[in-house]
Structure 1
Amino acid sequence: MQTNWDDLRLFLAVAREESLSGAGKILRLDPATLGRRMQRLEATLQANLFAKSPQGYALTEAGVSLLARAETAERAMRGVVADLPAQTDQLSGQIRIGAPDGSANYLLPQVCAAISDDNPDLDIQIVALPRVFNLSRREADMAIAVSAPTAGRLVVQKITDYHLHLAASDTYLAAHPAIISTADLRQHRIVGYIPDMIFDRELDYLSDLGISRVSLASNSVSVQINWIRQGGGIGIAHDFSVPAMRGVRRILTDQISLTRAFYLIRHADDQRNTRLSRFAEALSTGLRAEVARLEALA
């Protein structure tokens, strides 16, 4: 019976660590899954490779024989890799990201600029729209969302939590009655989303706060933030956007605080696309770091 290199690679780890848990840590593989793979390998070879006991996995005579052949194959594989021509680690081509305009305006520009610095042959496109993107129609290579979709052939990865608070400009606060508690908000002009254009339940902040009237409303986060910055009223703002708004500060932070999350959404067919996977990892890492940096400045 013939075995493939992946089976031998797993076998080598178990043989060297003498346990499924130890090998699983090295391989980043669940021990139960690894155990099934070893059972399948034994069935394929029609031989018991391990003597299993509470102390671990010890090689049988058949296992010792396979170990010698596996190590020979390992050396051969290393030689093949060493003989391959050197390849650049840089990304190239075009990648399009769909994102709600809050992250598209206040996070993605600097994160993607840093990725571009490291990959000068890569073209990055940001499509900023206040709606859910349809990856099945290939509207984008990947998308950022504020809730995890439950339908479709999609791969969903949580990127990070982020926080939101009420915010207002110093000029607005100086010209209007003091705000000591949430009850005082009834005397103030509220900035927020157009109720029937909220495309994701996670964005219905004001409803959660019991605020029904929105005097200045837009489907765009950027418009809302500019209203707040210009002294138009009080609204919910992402903490990561506050450092970009000179003269704006958070209010009632001890009484009102919201937490939401960003998710990276990809089409299931792209899981084995190394280029997109590497970009997704760089994007997620950059977003986590940038949210943490900006929130510390809020």
Structure 2
Amino acid sequence: MDWDDLRIFLAVARAESLSGAGRSLKLDAATVGRRVSRLEEAFGSKLFVKSPQGYALSEAGDRLLPHAEAAEQAFAGAEEELSGIAGQLTGQLRIGAPDGCANYLLPQVCAKIAAENPGLEIQIIALPRVFNLSKREADMAIAVSRPTAGRLTVQKLTDYHLSLAAHRDYLANAPPVRDKSDLSVHRMIGYIPDMIFDKELDYFAETGAEMVGLASNSASVQMRMIEAGAGLGIVHDFAIPFAPGVVRVLGDEIRLDRAFWLIRHADDRRSERLTRFAEALGQGLRDEVARLERAAFETTLAGL
């Protein structure tokens, strides 16, 4: 048995299909299938059970999985030890993040980290859902709530805030907003109720607003609606500086507190490379949130 066979085994286990594994490995599905068969012959056991839904691990595959992951970590550790350039981070790292964080924070933070580590390739996946680290969809993920299950390591990255906001043009032509009771006559913008994937995104439960007139599963799309003067909505304070004309409303009455959490696979805690990247990411996010929230506050003051 060699490491390359185990690498293919892990790819099939995570993708649950030969074609999916082939795409991640840049191999055709037939080659992946032959390599899996060769590994099964070497062990004398079936490692996968094929069904219409795909390839699921057999009992023998379940037993092999932690050993294959340990081999993967050992190989990655050797690469980290031997390929580093004067203490710089190298190779590819993939981060999964909710679209608000991915759109308004990660570009600046990752640009700075990349500039300090020219040999590092950073990939950002922006999706409004929870990432599956066990399938290696990403090396690490940022979430809006702390997970309570799974073989994961979790650390708090930073607190952040959200506020009710609207464009100045909308406020100039709409009924006044003096307190929460006035919201009933305004069009509200928010998440599609049955597509809220995390309870921390159920913002309107805390505002008293009863109905969303315009909705999207994307925080960025919601901000574009608000910027277009379509109504009021809850937005990240750190996103306001990117939307000219958008200001906080009822700032003393409606302000939500949230946090970003960094999630990693438990087996990655021994990776110095991932730990160093996580430290740089955390510091960068804290600095950027503070800078942008300060700018959002100043923008609102300027509009009064």
Task: With the length of structure 2 as denominator, give the TM-score of the two structures.
Answer: 0.69
Give the whole-Å Cα distance in 2 for the aligned partners of 1:296 and 1:223.
Answer: 23
CA distance in 2, matches of 1:270, 1:160: 21
Unaligned 5+ residue runs, structure 1?
1-85
Q: What is the identity, as a one-letter code, of the residue corresponding to 1:273?
A: S
- Larger Cα-atom Rg: 1
Separation (CA, whole Å) in 2 of partners of 1:294 and 1:131:
24
Provide the alpha-carbon RMSD of the alignment.
1.3
Relative to structure 1, is the Cα distance of residues 243 and 142 closer, same or farther in structure 2, using a 3 angstrom cutoff? Answer: same
Aligned to 2:268: 270
2:169 alignment counterpart: 171
Cα displacement string for residues 227-246 of structure 1 (whole angstroms, at most 9, x for unaligned residues): 00010110001110011110
- Residue identity in the other structure for 2:209: I
* Mapped pair 1:241 → 2:264: no
Query: Which residue of the partner structure matches residue 114 of structure 1?
Result: 112
Q: Supply the distance in 1 between the matched residues of 2:85 and 2:263 (Cα, whole angstroms).
A: 28
Deviation string, structure 1 residues 214-238 (Cα, Å, up to 9, x no partner): 0000000010000000101100011
Percent identity at matched positions?
66
Q: SS in structure 2 opposite 1:271? A: helix
- Tell me, what secondary structure is at the counterpart of 2:270? coil
Measure, in 2, the Cα distance between the counterparts of 1:295 and 1:180.
Answer: 23
Residue in structure 2 matched with residue 154 of structure 1 by the alignment:
152
- For residues 181-228 of structure 1, what are the alpha-carbon distances to aligned partners after superposition, in whole Å with 9 as ceiling and x for unaligned? 110000100000000000000000002222221000000001000000
Counterparts of 2:194 and 2:126 in 1: how far apart (Å)? 19
- Does the 8 Å CA contact 2:89/2:117 hold for their aligned counterparts? yes
Structure 2 equivalent of residue 229 of structure 1: 227
SS of the aligned residue for 2:157 comes to strand
* 1:297 alignment partner in structure 2: 295
Supply the distance in 1 between the matched residues of 2:286 and 2:242 (Cα, whole angstroms).
Answer: 18
CA contact (8 A) 2:180 2:208 kept: no
Opposite residue 249 of structure 1, the aligned amino acid is V
Q: Is the 8 A contact 2:157 2:259 kept in 1?
A: yes
- Checking the alignment, whether the CA contact within 8 Å between 2:89 and 2:273 is kept in structure 1 is yes
Offset, 1:175: 1.1
Structure 1 residue ranges (4+ consecutive) displaced by more than 6 angstroms after TM superposition: none
TM-score (norm 1): 0.71
Name the residue aligned to 1:256: 254
Q: Give the aligned length.
A: 214
Give the whole-Å Cα distance in 1 for the aligned partners of 2:153 and 2:163: 30
Displacement of 1:87: 5.4
Q: 1:203 aligns with which of 191, 201, 204?
A: 201
Query: Helix, strand or coil for the counterpart of 2:123?
Result: strand
Map 1:88-103 to 2 at 5 A: 88-103=86-101
Which residue identity does 2:281 align to in structure 1? L
Aligned to 1:139: 137
